[in-house]
Structures are given as structure tokens and as C-alpha cells.
Amino acid sequence: GYQPTWWKEAVVYQIYPRSFKDSNGDGIGDIPGITSKLDYLQKLGVNVIWLSPHYDSPNADNGYDIRDYRKVMAEFGTMADFDTMLAGIKQRHMRLIIDLVVNHTSDEHHWFVESRKSKDNPYRDYYFWRDGKPGPAGSNGKPTMLPPNNDPSFFSGSAWQFDPTTDQYYLHYFAVKQPDLNWDNPKVREEVYSLMRFWLDKGVDGFRMDVIPLISKNPAFPDLTPDQLHNYGNAYANGPHMHDYLQEMNRNVMARYDVMTVGEALGISLEQTPLMVGDNRNELNMIFNFDAIRSNRDGIKLKPFDLLTLKAIYARHAEVLGIHSWDTVFLSNHDNPRIVSTFGDDSPEFRVTSAKLLATMLLTLRGTPFLYQGDELGMTNYPFRSINDFDDIEVKNAYKANVLTGKVPEETFITDLRHTSRDNSRTPMQWDGSANGGFTTAAKPWLAENPNYTQINASVEVADPNSIYNYTRKLIDLRHAHRAFVYGEYKDLDPENKSIFAYTRTLGSDRYLVVLNFSSGPVAYTLPAKVKVDSLVLSNLDSAGLVTDTFNLAGWEARIYKLR
Ligand code: ISL
Ligand code: CA
């Protein structure tokens, strides 16, 4: 069976600090704000917090562009504030993992400021600098300059930026202000390991590693083929030394501490996953695969949700990862729209029930569950109307590249982004019914609060025994109380059923059944003859008391049974 460890048994809660809680009235969430809400998190029952970047940053990409890895972002507070927060987390028997963003830095990081100065600067090789390619002759008869290759940036345009100081281009897979670090330089790797130790020595319990599969590049930078251009994330991932560097990092850093690591595995297939997280690989503990969370997406367009596809993904995970590779379960984060609006039904009729069903699934599937802030309240997507309502650099750049050039009609663009924009999940937490949802005392938060905060907020939900918050709390208790939900074998009872997701988790004689109606209409579901129900453990509707072999499930009903 599995080797038990704390991070397998954890329930993780992601905090996006900018949007969590503002303590000083400047409209921006901050670290003292987080500290003031630790009791709320402890009561919910989560035991690991993943904090999105809290480091000094000019915020081209909300902190995913780091200027100083050893400093706290001034808007978020001071190092003393961080230490107080960490102590408060430990006092409550919770743990903290922080975001490690080391595929790239900010262009304002001291290393890059030096690097761009001259070709022989000692920091030149910390980044990728290349000559351009001569293009066709321009209007003045002289050849124009083209980027070194055709790599696109995730945030629109070329991944190469020309820098007139030395007449060369530098690589940036993300924004122009996020130059990629050159991991082939051993000095860069030592710098990274050293900054990791700096935070671990303070007592943090591990890292979520941003776009970690991109750290190793082919230094020849060949052009991508038309096929590769279709999914350039896959082409960028899994470079020639990725596994060497992760193993080196593990030897130099992780092996010396009791830590949890989770890699954001952009571009890694399920088949490649055991090579990163296998228990004899000494690389990472677990990764985020994007197969499930993007199963109803086609770029920025939403595709209809298909339960069969989702079930097939979870079945394949169990098969491919087996008992030697640990998994994650998540359907939301700061890069994706709200879970209930995307995988549930956020209409007034079904928002509460479907949000509870999704929580039931996340907290009973195999793998460490990750909840995103506000999911426990059933927070929804934001009603974006115009480009001015957005903040995200990904949206702004795509608008320039696609709408302003006439390639995509404005209305189509806004409609798509209303469903898929990252800003949907970045609107501030809805703490209570007062102005700006109690997030800030400023007249205006950095990003508008969802106007539905008057109904959907923590103060109402903590007090209501039937709220999504209190239901999530019960689920977390249940997962912590029964190891079958953590280490139990997973079996999908009816993979071909289009509206019902029914599965068992079995650890020795401890057996549970989870039945989820992924549709808004009533469905009758008959259990396979050999599955014998003992008693109802938890349900998101109170109609579910009866124990029979045929369940009459209401729309979005979810039930957990103990089996005989
Ligand atoms: O969210 C995406 C598209 O909508 C992804 O392409 C995303 O950019 C990708 O998963 C990488 O995400 C991570 O690195 C980015 C940062 O903007 C994201 O917030 C972060 O999660 C660059 O650091
Ligand atoms: Ca603040």
C-alpha cells in the first residue's frame, strides 16, 4: 500500500493574497489580512495553506514576476508580518507552502538589470540572450530584424524581446517583464537552492512550483513545427535536463527538510507524470495535471461539460499513477474561472447544491485535494461587460493582439472571457454584506468585488448550518477521520453513466460509496448487486435518508454512504 505522510493526508487551501483580506484600507489584500482570518481557516479544517507569491514584485503578473526573492511585497506588508502569519499558522497546527516562481524573474530583478547591461556582464548567462535573424528588406532597403525563432509567448506575441542596449533578444515565455532564467548555468541553480533554503529555514513547509516543467530548454532554440505551435506548452515542457535539475534540487534542498512539493505541470502528460512524482524518483511529491480542469475548455472558449470525459480522466489517473505516484485533485485556482460556474450550475436554483456536490467529489477522490479561496462559499464568475472590467495581463495582451487588430470581434472576445478569464477567481473574497464585501475599507478595491456579495458571503455562511461553508467543513472532517478517503482504492462503479458519477473508496474493511448526480434533473440509479449499503454518512440534500438499492436522486444531489 501507500507510505503514509502528512502531505498525502492534507487538505490544501490556496490563498491569492491580493484578493483575500485588506487590513490597512489601501484596497489590496495583505499578510496581516491573512493573519486576521486564520481562525476562519482553522474552523474550516484545512491544514495546509498554499500562498500565491508574496515576494517583492512590480506586479506585471500579480507577483508571478519576482524582483527580490528574499523580500516581502511592500503592498502585502513586512517580513515581520510574514513571520507573525507563519507563527499563527503553526500555532493552529496548520502548515504553509509558498509559491516558487523560478522559471523566470521580473525584468527588474537585480540579476536581469545586470544581465542586460553588456554581453560580458557576469550575470549575462543568467538568462537567454540570442541574436536576431535577418528578415526581408524593409522600406529603407536594409534587412529587418526577426526574433531568433518562432516561439510564441503565453501572453501573446513572440517569446523574444529585442533589447537595444546590446542589440540582442532575450527569452520570455510569459510577459515581456518576465525573462526566463537559464537553468543550464550552475550559478542560477545554486541561487535558486539558496533562496529555497532561506524560506525553509524560516519554517515554511514546502513549495508549489510555478511552471516547473519549463526550466530546461534546448539552447539551440529550433523553430517549432506547425504541429508544435498548436500546443506550444507541451513543446516547452520536459526539456533535456528537467529531471536532472529536479533531482539535484531534491538532493540539495528538499531531502534535508520535511517538506511538501507540488509542481504546476504545464505541458506534462499523465504518462510522463510518474517520472516526476514516482516515489523512487526523488523529484517532486505531486503535480497538477491540467487534464480535468481544462476538460471543458478549448483555448479561451468553454466547451460543454461532459461527465464521461471527466470520469475517464480520473479512471486513467488511478491506472497510470497506481500506488507509487501521488496525485492531486483540483478544479479551480487563480488561473481558472470559478468552480461552481464552470463545473456546476451557478443559477439561483442550483448554486448551493451543485457547489456542495463538487466539494463532495474533490474531498473524496484519490489525491490531495486543493480548494481555492471562496470555493467554500460558492463564489461565482464575475459579470464582465467590457475590457475595462479586467485587470489580467493575459486578457489585456490578448485584447491588443486579437481585438484591436480586427481578428476577433470584441463581443465574442468579452463573452468568452466572461466564462474563462483568470480574473473570475481573482475578485476579492466576500467576507460580509457591508460595502465591498468587507474585503476593504477603501472606496475601491484593486479589482471589483462580485456584486453578489450581498447574498454570498462568509458571515452569512458561517452562521448558517446548511451553508456550503459548513458542508465543506463536514467533508473535510470526514476526510481527516477516515483514511479510506486518503489511501483507499478507487473504483468507478458505472463509467458509462452520462449523469451519475458513482465510486467506492476501499481500505481493508472500511468502504465508502459516493454517488453524485451531475445533472439538474432527477435520476434513478440502481447500485450493482454486490455493493451493499450500510448507512448514509453525508448528503447535500436532506431528502436522502432512505437506504435502498435504488436511489432517486434530485438534481445535483450528492450522497456518501458507508458500505457493508
Ligand atoms: O492560465 C493560463 C492560461 O489562462 C496558463 O497558461 C498559465 O499561464 C500557466 O498555467 C502558467 O501559470 C503560472 O505561471 C504564470 C502565471 O501567470 C500564472 O498565474 C501561474 O499560475 C507565469 O508565472
Ligand atoms: Ca492592504
Among 22, 99, 205, 264, which one carries the catalytic annotation?
A: 264
> Under 8 Å CB-to-CB from 140, ≥6 apart: which residues?
none
Mean pLDDT, range 498-527, rounded to an integer: 97
Predicted pLDDT at 532: 92
Atom of ligand 1 nearest to the CA of 64: 23
- Atom 7 of ligand 1, residue of closest alpha carbon: 335
Tell me the β-bridge partners of 219. Answer: none
Please state which of the ranges 217-226, 258-267, 448-457, 523-532 shows the lowest mean pLDDT.
523-532
State the complex-level ipTM. Answer: 0.97
The answer, yes or no, to whether residue 549 has pLDDT greater than 80, is no
The answer, yes or no, to whether residue 546 has pLDDT greater than 70, is no
Radius of gyration over alpha carbons of the chain, in Å?
Answer: 24
Predicted pLDDT at 542: 81
CB 422: neighbour CB atoms within 10 A? 19
Atom of ligand 1 nearest to the CA of 420: 4
- Atom 5 of ligand 1, residue of closest alpha carbon: 335
Closest listed ligand to the CA of 16: 1
Atom of ligand 1 nearest to the CA of 103: 23
Amino acid, res. 38: L
Structure confidence at residue 142 as a pLDDT band (50, 70, 90): confident
3-state helix, strand, coil in the chain (%, to 5): 35, 20, 45
**Residue ranges of domains in the chain, CATH in brackets:** 6-103+185-221+231-384+467-473 (3.20.20.80), 110-171 (3.90.400.10), 489-563 (2.60.40.1180)
Pocket of ligand 1 (CB under 6 A): 61, 64, 101, 154, 174, 210-211, 264, 266, 334-335, 394, 422
What residue has cell string 519549463?
214
Q: How far apart are CA 358 and CA 345, in angstroms?
A: 10
Q: How far is CA 479 from CA 8, 91, 262, 362, in A?
A: 11, 22, 20, 10
Phi, psi angle pair for 378, to nearest 5°: 70, 35
CA of 335 to the centre of ligand 1 (A): 6
The answer, yes or no, to whether residue 26 has pLDDT greater than 70, is yes
Q: What are 538's three cell numbers?
A: 453525508
Percent of the chain with pLDDT over 70: 99
- Atom 16 of ligand 1, residue of closest alpha carbon: 64
Nearest-CA neighbor of 252 among 209, 217, 283? 283
Predicted pLDDT at 174: 98
pLDDT tens digits along 487-507: 999 999 999 999 999 999 999
For residue 181, the 8-state DSSP code is B
CA of 330 to the centre of ligand 2 (A): 28
Nearest-CA neighbor of 112 among 132, 122, 101, 127? 127
The answer, yes or no, to whether residue 238 has pLDDT greater than 90, is yes
CA of 253 to the centre of ligand 1 (A): 25
The answer, yes or no, to whether residue 545 has pLDDT greater than 70, is no
Predicted pLDDT at 297: 95
Predicted pLDDT at 344: 98
Predicted pLDDT at 143: 83
CA of 75 to the centre of ligand 2 (A): 6
Predicted pLDDT at 544: 59
Mutation to probe ligand 1, out of 64, 100, 372 (largest number of atoms < 8 A from CB) = 64
- Atom 11 of ligand 1, residue of closest alpha carbon: 211
* Strand runs labelled E in 7-124: 12-15, 48-51, 55-56, 68-72, 95-100
User: Average pLDDT, whole number, for the chain?
Assistant: 97
Tell me the β-bridge partners of 52. Answer: none
Predicted pLDDT at 543: 66
Q: Chain-centre distance of CA 40, in angstroms?
A: 21
The answer, yes or no, to whether residue 316 has pLDDT greater than 70, is yes
pLDDT tens digits along 73-88: 999 999 999 999 999 9
DSSP 119-177: TT-TTGGGB-EE--EEEEE-TTSSEEEE-SS-PBPTTSSBSEEEETTTTEEEE-SS-TT
> pTM for this structure?
0.98
Amino acid, res. 259: V
The answer, yes or no, to whether residue 301 has pLDDT greater than 70, is yes
Q: How far apart are CA 15 and CA 31, in angstroms?
A: 10
Q: Give the H or E element holding residue 85.
A: helix 79-91
Q: How far apart are CA 118 and CA 165, in angstroms?
A: 7
User: Which stretches of 421-501 are DSSP H helices?
Assistant: 458-463, 468-481, 484-487
Contact predicate 363/480, CB 8 Å: no
Among 151, 180, 210, 557, which one carries the catalytic annotation?
A: 210
Predicted pLDDT at 1: 80
CA of 35 to the centre of ligand 2 (A): 12
Give catalytic status of residue 210 as yes or no: yes
